[in-house]
Amino acid sequence: MPEKYQRPHWHERVQTIERMKRAQEDERAALAVVNDFNAQIAARGSAWFWPKITTALTARCPWVVIACDSCGMQGDLDLRMKPRDPEASIRVVLHDFRCLRCNGHGRPRVAGLKRAL
């Protein structure tokens, strides 16, 4: 019975290094998008774009800071806790947030994305 061909060990190492480089580039690009979004929110209070959930998770910024315009209370929501469509924008988490002071009658808005500790 002929022996099965196996790739050389160096080939697997090269593939692993290339995969790690791509992951670093993706993380840097996602972090740039998140930083741009946070800067727009901080400067104007609104943004022209909403990053996707995938972008926030890739940038390792899974915490969405949500502020209530009615009472000024702020809360954090973790994107990793509930399964969501990764291609959806982070704006979909506003449906899951309920202000404790306003008893859900306030107007929540996204105040930024925060890095995990």
Q: In what order do the strands lie in the sheet with 74-78?
A: 74-78, 63-68, 108-114
Task: Please return the burial class of 5, using the count of CB atoms within 10 Å of its CB with bins 0-12, 13-18 and 19+.
Answer: exposed
Phi, psi (rounded to 5 degrees) for 77 = -130, 130
CB 74 within 8 A of CB 102: no
Tell me the whole-structure pTM to 2 decimals: 0.78
pLDDT in tens, the chain (117 residues): 567 777 667 778 888 899 999 999 999 999 999 999 999 999 988 888 899 999 999 999 999 999 888 888 888 889 999 899 999 999 998 888 888 788 777 788 888 999 876
78 bridge partner residues: 63
